[in-house]
Amino acid sequence: MGEVQAFHSDQTTTTTPVGEHADSLSTVLDLVRSGIARTRPEIGRHAGLGRTVVTQRVTQLTVSGLLEEGALGPSSGGRAPRELRFRARAGVILAAELGATSISVGVTDLAGVVLAEHTETADIAAGPETVLSRVEEVFDDLLPRVRAELGSPELPVWGVGVGLPGPVEFATGRPSAPPIMPGWDGYPVRDRFARRYDTPVWVDNEVNTMALGELRAGSARGQRDILYVKIGTGIGAGLISNGTLHRGSQGCAGDIGHAATSEEDDVVCRCGNTGCLEAYAGGAALARDGLVAAKEGRSRFLADVLATTGTVTAADVSRAAQSGDRTSVELLTRAGRLVGTLLATLVSFFNPALVIIGGGVSGAGDLLLAAVRETVYRRSLPLATRELRITRSALSDRAGLVGAAFMAIDELFAPERLARWVDDGSPAGRPALVDVPLRTAVL
Ligand SMILES: [Zn+2]
């Protein structure tokens, strides 16, 4: 049942009856919602649980409104077993990914399928009041539309998941000294949404939600050890180890943008140090170097862009490279080589099966990805790269939004929370705001 464990494999397992109960409840639900098992006998086989336990757990989950009996399966002589289905439309999840320069806001079902979404430009530096008010407006616009479309005017919100472009203390849902988010430090993002929607809320760094999105619905499905690298304005990584997000003791695991490179340390990074990776290879660095190249007459393409638009962006550099502009090709190749050099170390250290490159800069062409690949394969140990795949994000812009939804879904159905919820006899279709410690706190 390898894939099932991927949902909650980080949960502390205990040998107490309470722990076993929580685990078997969660296992049964996971088997059905992942599509691995559709009948009681199949659940029993995959979970290694006896018939009585399976029946009890299925009954509990059905009474709680999480499972339902489907139509009878095809008969093969005797009485066909009843098909069980996860009630993915019993409620919805509100998900938001807040980037440095845009917000993506959506409503998903409990299987992470996006039912409605909206993306617009936004400046995270405008502060939490402005940005979060806008996110709430969009939620309040999308939610009635989804309810109307599903013909369910009272369809409840079961949870909220939010990704932010900076470090987040996962246990409290507050940003922690985020460098590009003035006014956000310590802001109670989780509490604000929890009050407004009267539902559990989880907040995390957007790179983590992107990694989770790829794991659950993107190119990392079925994998256990993944490195997700976002090359946007800045650079960050999300680490999935043994099927679970590794957030680290302070929640800032994967903050690789400020790792030292071997470049001459003549560029001061926004963090105050010199020689940081993102100060040479991030989107802001590409835009800066592209602008200099335009002004110095080293790129005809970028000089034209500068004359027309008054500035040069990372996207302009990518476009210039794709059209064969030599300076831009060099800039992107250098960025890819620098990212690849650090990744080679991480690959040797962590031995992932898959490295996913995402973020705005990565989407612009193959040059950067090719340079990353070439460097990683050249510099890593042969054993670490024998089965290694390095690929572009499959979900692209959507990874963060989908991942934010799955963060909430995974937490809602985590064993301890699920057991408390089911045992409390909360009315079907509405999870109680049970006071279960968050998983990082449990661990
Ligand atoms: Zn730095």
What is the residue-level pLDDT of the chain in tens, covering all 443 positions? Answer: 333 433 544 444 434 455 778 888 999 999 999 888 999 999 999 999 999 999 999 999 998 889 998 765 555 556 666 799 999 999 999 999 999 889 999 999 999 999 999 999 999 999 999 999 999 999 999 999 999 999 999 999 999 999 999 889 988 999 988 878 899 999 999 999 999 999 999 999 999 999 999 999 998 988 999 999 999 888 999 999 999 999 988 778 888 999 998 777 788 888 888 889 999 999 999 999 999 999 999 999 999 999 999 999 999 999 999 999 999 999 999 999 999 999 999 999 999 999 999 988 876 668 899 999 999 999 888 888 888 999 998 887 889 999 999 999 999 998 888 888 777 655 444 554 444 434 433 32
Please give the distance, rounded to the nearest whole angstrom, from the Cα atom of residue 272 to the centre of ligand 1. 6
Q: How far apart are the C-alpha atoms of 180 and 124, rounded to whole Å?
A: 8
Please give the distance, rounded to the nearest whole angstrom, from the Cα atom of residue 278 to the centre of ligand 1. 7
Please give the distance, rounded to the nearest whole angstrom, from the Cα atom of residue 263 to the centre of ligand 1. 13
Please give the distance, rounded to the nearest whole angstrom, from the Cα atom of residue 197 to the centre of ligand 1. 37
Are 49 and 27 in contact by the 8 Å Cβ rule? The answer is yes
The closest alpha carbon to 328, from 307, 306, 299, belongs to 299
Report the relative pairing of strands 226-231 and 235-241 from DSSP bridges. antiparallel
Largest interatomic CA distance in the chain: 81
Buried b or exposed e, range 33-66, using 16+ CB within 10 angstroms: bbebbbbbebbbebbebeeebbebbbebbeebbb
Please give the distance, rounded to the nearest whole angstrom, from the Cα atom of residue 268 to the centre of ligand 1. 8
The closest alpha carbon to 344, from 223, 252, 259, belongs to 259
**Which residues lie at CB < 5 A from ion ligand 1?**
258, 269, 271, 273, 276
Please give the distance, rounded to the nearest whole angstrom, from the Cα atom of residue 332 to the centre of ligand 1. 19
Looking at the DSSP bridge assignments, the partners of residue 102 are 121
Please give the distance, rounded to the nearest whole angstrom, from the Cα atom of residue 251 to the centre of ligand 1. 18
Amino acid symbol at 399: A
Query: What is the helix, strand, coil percentage profile of the chain, to 5?
Result: 45, 20, 35
Are 311 and 296 in contact by the 8 Å Cβ rule? The answer is no
